[in-house]
Amino acid sequence: MMTHQWPILSTVTFLPLFGALLILMIKDDSDNAKRNIRNVAFLTTLFVFILSLIVWAGFDNTDPGFQMEERAKWLGGGISYHMGVDGLSVLFVVLSAFLMPFCILASWETIKHQLKDYMIAFLILETMTIGVFCALDAVLFYIFFEASLIPMFIIIGVWGGAHRVYASLKFFLYTLLGSLFMLVAIMVMYWQTGSLDILILLNHKFSFHMQVWLWFAFLASFAVKMPMWPVHTWLPDAHVEAPTAGSVILAGILLKLGGYGFLRFSLPMFPLASARFAPLIFTLSIIAIVYASLVALVQGDMKKLIAYSSVGHMGYVTMGIFAANEQSVEGAIFQMLSHGIISSALFLCVGVIYDRMHTREIVAFGGLINKMPKYAAVFLILTMANIALPGTAGFPGEFLTLIGVFRVNHFVACIATTGIVLSALYALYLYRRVILGTLKKENLKTFVDLSFREKFILYPMVILALLFGMYPAPVLNVIHCSAELLVSNYNNAVQAHAGMVFLQ
Amino acid sequence: MLLYHGIVFLPLIGFLIAGLYGTHIGARACELITCVFMVIVAIFSWIAFFFMAFSNVNVLHIPVLCWMTVGDLDINWAFRIDTLTVVMFVVVNSVSALVHIYSIGYMQHDPNRTRFFSYLSLFTFMMLILVTSDNLIQMFFGWEGVGLVSYLLIGFWHQRSEANRAAMKAFIVNRVGDFGFLLGIFCIFVLFGTVDFNDLFLRSLSGQFSGGLSFFNGKIIGEDALTIVCLLLFFAAMGKSAQFVLHTWLPDAMEGPTPVSALIHAATMVTAGVFMIARMSPLFELASTALTTITCIGATTAFFGASVSLVQNDIKRVIAYSTCSQLGYMFVALGVGAYGAGIFHLFTHAFFKALLFLGAGSVIHALSDEQDMRRMGGLWKYLPKTYWMMIIGTMTLTGVGIPGTFFGTAGFFSKDPIIEAAFIVANPFGEYAFWILILTGFFTSFYSWRLIFMTFHGKPRATADIMHHVHESPPIMLFPLLFLGFGALFAGVLFQPYFFGYAYQDFWNGALFTSESNNVVHAVHHVPLWVKWLPFFVMTAGFFLAFLFYIVMPSMPKALKARFPKIYKFLLKKWYFDEFYTIFLVTPAFAIGRVLWKKGDMKIIDGFGPNGIAVRVLDITNRIVRMQTGYLYHYAFTMLVSLVMLITWMLIGSIR
């Protein structure tokens, strides 16, 4: 226990709230004030990112347990303010903190009205998302997990596109359904164990019967967040209506909450149920991969296309988590992290041309390479990363997941591998229609290539998308020990149960 | 050791300089840098070749960097240098260097030539990664990497929609093959517990399988499992090497600039499948069913390519289908266990096919980008040097040479052993391959000379305007032709003893594995005399028939076309493969996608799920609150209430 040290996780988590407070105090009328709002928001997120890097630097890769723990009395009765990170969560903290400054930059000029509220919403969102990954108490987790939706609702509902009301209503209905089940499950767990500290819950052995009910309750919530087929239909609508930065956070971080939840709760706490219902997850996952890829093929809206591609990519993640071996779990985590960078960057790319044309219809574009060669190069690298070309960050995740799943179930892995053909199909088809060809349309002829601000946003992402493909070790090394522990605990539990059944 | 680093990384450095700083340093500087680097690399490659092939060193492992280590899966960036690698070094880098130099002339009017040269260097780097790979994953990296650059270069003239279409097709069809590659890797990892070549080969030869494969409770073990692995890998090779059923992308790839066709779609990338199977010979040699499949597919491809080539009118497509066909020969060689002969044909083919393509490029360049042979003719007077080089290429492709002597072109020395090897394999598949290859030899000779006669002889059929501009290519384009012509003439007689002759063992040094029972290397010397002479006769017959059709009686082809319109159409339409795939694969994929979206997502999931409920909720909220974001507070309120309930409940619980 290192409670005597500087509580760095709380600092990282709540610093954005402090920034939001500062912004709240700025009077929002003059251009000067607007500049101050932007600067405060950017500097806050930048500072949070630097702090998150310090967390990463201070993280001990060889320790599979929780680190940098903080504990304080809170509600009493087994519910405390407990924070900490392990190999499964620490990089998600870094990812969230990494994406935020880019979101602020991406909104620099595009957000015209209610700038102050917008920045406050984003900073609150940052606190909530980082909090989810740091929380080591189920109530704390639940609060962050659910509260992260409120700023997102507002971002879509206020700064969104034409059908923003429908999109946020759909989002609301889906998540409400899921979260209620999770709430009940948390209550039941408290009733069973007398504590909601995740460390205690992890060591508690629930009966098989109990595990099944709890597993399904958590599934209801996490499956919506992933999103898994068939509860995925909120995602394309939410993406289409959200402003660019909203899409970035949605794809980059909010989709990862579900996967993280599976890793933190479902797999380690309910191993027997996970093992029993892994075939269900496999089925849903391969349907998601094939189905979403085929649907992506016929989309006319760029954001919808990328959204459906995300559904497919998350199929690999769910499949990998429940295959529960080292390759598949590490692959799933890597896939989530790389997808967080790649799909975010793709949404930023769409934002670049949306800002110029104010449409995302694929047919409105064509031949952009003639006017925007740098943009074409960036889009190409990201497209290749999206279809998991070896050497890009998309590859290790997909490859490890597939090889891990193949060890457990050949058939499932075979079907899932068709995703590499289908993803190439929709991604290259998109690239061909938007970027390649002759520049025929009059209104495209005035386009200028990436501005300095756009380069500043996209280039780091492109570099990371390549770097982690060639040399994923810095990421994988962090994950190793915790994933190993997770898998071995899972296997022990499943084997012990099998042994007991055998003895009876 | 630094030699090998230089060979692999200099092209990468060239790519980075030209790709990142091309606009700053200018096109001329990019051309110079990439070309000089490639010439250095080519010279290094020959040094490495002579060092490796004529020394006692078996194999070198040069670790570079750790890539991924996850559980028992350990993947490193590393080079594996053995005779097979250095042979590929020589092929890839010699042709690449010459194509780089040639392109200075060929692309001199193109505004995007810095991009072109950077892609060429990137391609070379990817190809080198592929051939030096020490494990399957690195090979897959190179494998997909060359696919990417091939995509970029086919679509280099991105204003042409045909080029973009062809580029995408190439990538997708290759990905279909890569699907097999990935599954093959997974199977190997499950069976052998490693993806490293060294361990893999050791375990495969000593029979250490750590289990089997299982599909739906059906267990597949031992040789059957190995057969599945090999078939999956061969499927990947079929994609990359444009074998029958996965060949459709290669002819379309001719939309790319001609130097690209010479380098990627004739000499190097398309032979990656052959290389891969030769590399994996310790596995394939143990899977006889897989080998017979390879023989059959190879022979069928050889025949298919040559048959389609007979009637094509686009000069590049004739050569493209010829490439398809020649790759079929290589696969037959692999399938009958004559790995050395397969690689030898790869080696000579790289020279003469690059020569033919670059020669064709010289013609196209001279005729202001005309590619249709029906609008050529009579060019030999105008392009004498190109003409003679094309004659050399054609003689090599058709395999001119006198059996039993040292007089022969490279194609003769590399192709005839394949036919002989097919003959001695005592099974129906070998027999099938033998007769098919003989027939193909006849076709090859016919279409090759047809190309020469239609292009260079007869009356000029181009417009007067174009004929006015016809000019012999500049020396910078002719010089690479000269080099390749030299290789096409003499590479056969010089290297045959090493690749597939008396010095086989010393030369390969274990880089190619042949099992105890496989004695094809020695047996080819004892085939009957008629087998040795038959290819010679069909080749001569092909020449005379072409001479008859296109020089003596030019009305003959038209009469035949009118007499057999169905067969002509069938060949011209390339056996209707593209139409078949469009109807049965592409259209359905889009249709299914549309149905899943409109019906699955919108009607079923949304209709019964959120929209059904939403309609109700919207009704109510509209009546109660006329605020857009009303339900947001609604939601926050729900959450708050539930939280309060939860906490209250727990507090009560803790008091009790």
Q: Do A215 and A185 form a contact (C-beta atoms < 8 A)?
A: no
Question: Which are the contacts of B596, defined by CB distance < 8 A and separation ≥ 6?
Answer: A291, A294, A295
Q: Which of residues 275-334 of B touch A (CB under 8 A)?
A: none
Q: Which two tokens stand for residue B209?
A: 């399988």
Enclosing H/E stretch for A79: strand A79-85
**Averaged pLDDT score across all residues of chain A:** 89
Q: Which of residues 587-646 of B touch A (CB under 8 A)?
A: 589-590, 592-594, 596-597, 600-601, 605-606, 609-611, 613-614, 617-618, 628-629, 631-632, 635-636, 638-639, 642-643, 646
B464 CA: distance to closest CA in chain A (Å): 31
Question: Which are the contacts of B511, defined by CB distance < 8 A and separation ≥ 6?
Answer: B59, B82, B83, B84, B85
Q: Is the pLDDT of residue B656 over 70?
A: no
Phi, psi of B402 (to 5 degrees): -105, 115
Query: Does residue B553 belong to the interface with chain A, where contact is any CB pair within 8 Å?
Result: no
Q: What is the pLDDT of residues A440-457, one digit of tens each?
A: 888 878 888 888 888 999
Residue B614 or residue B92, greater confidence:
B92
pLDDT of residue B654: 47
Q: Which long-range contacts (CB under 8 A, 24 or more apart) does B4-9 make?
A: B4/B48, B4/B60, B4/B62, B4/B79, B4/B81, B4/B132, B5/B62, B6/B40, B6/B41, B6/B44, B7/B41, B7/B44, B7/B45, B7/B48, B7/B89, B7/B93, B7/B128, B8/B79, B8/B125, B8/B128, B8/B129, B8/B132, B9/B125
Enclosing H/E stretch for A41: helix A31-58
The residue assigned the tokens 């994406």 is A99
pTM of the model: 0.91
What is the spatial distance between Cα A12 and Cα A485, in angstroms, rounded to a whole number?
A: 26
pLDDT of residue B501: 82
pLDDT of residue B629: 47
Report the residue from B68, B175, B618 with minimal CB separation from A421: B175
- Cite the beta strand spans of B216-326 per DSSP E: 218-220
Q: Do A417 and B182 form a contact (C-beta atoms < 8 A)?
A: yes
Q: What is the pLDDT of residues B391-449, one digit of tens each?
A: 999 999 998 888 878 888 898 999 999 999 999 887 888 889 999 999 999 999 999 99
Q: Which two tokens stand for residue B208?
A: 């250490």
What is the spatial distance between Cα B211 and Cα B219, in angstroms, rounded to a whole number?
A: 10
B542 CA: distance to closest CA in chain A (Å): 41
Q: Is the pLDDT of residue A3 over 50?
A: no
| CB atoms near residue B468 (< 10 Å) | 9
- Reported as a pLDDT band with limits 50, 70 and 90, residue B573 is confident
Q: Is the pLDDT of residue B524 over 50?
A: yes
Q: Which among A65, A66, A70, A93 is positioned nearest to A80, based on CA atoms?
A: A70
- Reported as a pLDDT band with limits 50, 70 and 90, residue B641 is low
pLDDT of residue B90: 93
ipTM for the predicted complex: 0.92
Residue A74 or residue B80, greater confidence:
B80
Q: Which two tokens stand for residue A441?
A: 């349309």
Residue of A nearest to B586 (CA): A425
Residue A261 or residue B588, greater confidence:
A261
- Reported as a pLDDT band with limits 50, 70 and 90, residue B616 is low
Q: Is the pLDDT of residue B236 over 60?
A: yes
B540 CA: distance to closest CA in chain A (Å): 45
What is the spatial distance between Cα B183 and Cα A389, in angstroms, rounded to a whole number?
A: 16
Q: Mean per-residue pLDDT for A414-428?
A: 93
Per-residue three-class SS string for B570-600 = HHHCHHHHHHHHHHHHHHHHHHHHHHHHHHH
Q: Which among A33, A57, A92, A23 is positioned nearest to A317, based on CA atoms?
A: A92
The residue assigned the tokens 């239909």 is A233
Q: Which of residues 111-150 of B touch A (CB under 8 A)?
A: 137, 140-141, 144-145, 148
What is the spatial distance between Cα B98 and Cα B484, in angstroms, rounded to a whole number?
A: 8
Report the residue from B68, B189, B638 with minimal CB separation from A396: B68
Which range, of A280-284, B389-393, B544-548, B615-619, averages the lowest pLDDT? B615-619
DSSP character at residue A148: T
Q: What is the pLDDT of residues B27-36, one digit of tens each?
A: 899 999 999 9
**Averaged pLDDT score across all residues of chain B:** 86
pLDDT of residue B177: 93
Q: What is the pLDDT of residues A367-390, one digit of tens each?
A: 888 888 899 999 999 999 999 999
The residue assigned the tokens 């879509």 is A156
pLDDT of residue B627: 42
Query: Does residue A183 belong to the interface with chain B, where contact is any CB pair within 8 Å?
Result: yes
Q: Do A144 and A132 form a contact (C-beta atoms < 8 A)?
A: yes
Q: Is the pLDDT of residue A76 over 80?
A: no
Q: Which two tokens stand for residue B653?
A: 């619980």
DSSP character at residue A443: G
Residue A455 or residue B469, greater confidence:
A455
Quick check: helix, strand or coil at residue A471?
A: coil
| CB atoms near residue B166 (< 10 Å) | 22
pLDDT of residue B655: 46
Phi, psi of B110 (to 5 degrees): -85, 130
Q: Mean per-residue pLDDT for B477-498?
A: 89
Q: Do A294 and A311 form a contact (C-beta atoms < 8 A)?
A: no
B88 CA: distance to closest CA in chain A (Å): 22
| Amino acid letter for position A499 | G
Quick check: helix, strand or coil at residue B217?
A: coil
Q: What is the pLDDT of residues A160-174, one digit of tens each?
A: 777 877 787 778 778
Number of residues that this document lists for chain A: 504
Q: Which of residues 419-478 of B touch A (CB under 8 A)?
A: none
Chain A with chain B: Cβ pairs closer than 8 A = 196
Its sign, for the CA torsion B72, A420, B305, B313, is: negative
Query: Does residue A298 belong to the interface with chain B, where contact is any CB pair within 8 Å?
Result: yes
> Do A299 and B597 lie within an 8 Å CB cutoff?
yes
Phi, psi of B306 (to 5 degrees): -65, -40
What is the spatial distance between Cα B594 and Cα B602, in angstroms, rounded to a whole number?
A: 11
Ramachandran assignment for B509, one of left (phi > 0), alpha (psi -120 to 50 degrees), beta (any other): left
Q: Is the pLDDT of residue B646 over 70?
A: no
Q: What is the pLDDT of residues A182-230, one digit of tens each?
A: 888 888 888 888 888 888 888 888 888 888 889 999 998 999 988 888 8
Q: Which among A91, A90, A92, A72 is positioned nearest to A82, based on CA atoms?
A: A72
Q: Mean per-residue pLDDT for B137-164?
A: 93
pLDDT of residue B459: 85
Cis preceding linkage at A230, omega within 30:
yes
What is the spatial distance between Cα A187 and Cα B293, in angstroms, rounded to a whole number?
A: 61
Enclosing H/E stretch for A72: strand A67-76
What is the spatial distance between Cα A160 and Cα A489, in angstroms, rounded to a whole number?
A: 44
Q: What is the pLDDT of residues A137-153, one digit of tens each?
A: 998 899 898 888 888 88
Q: Do A68 and A184 form a contact (C-beta atoms < 8 A)?
A: no
Quick check: helix, strand or coil at residue B73?
A: strand
Q: Do B512 and B340 form a contact (C-beta atoms < 8 A)?
A: yes
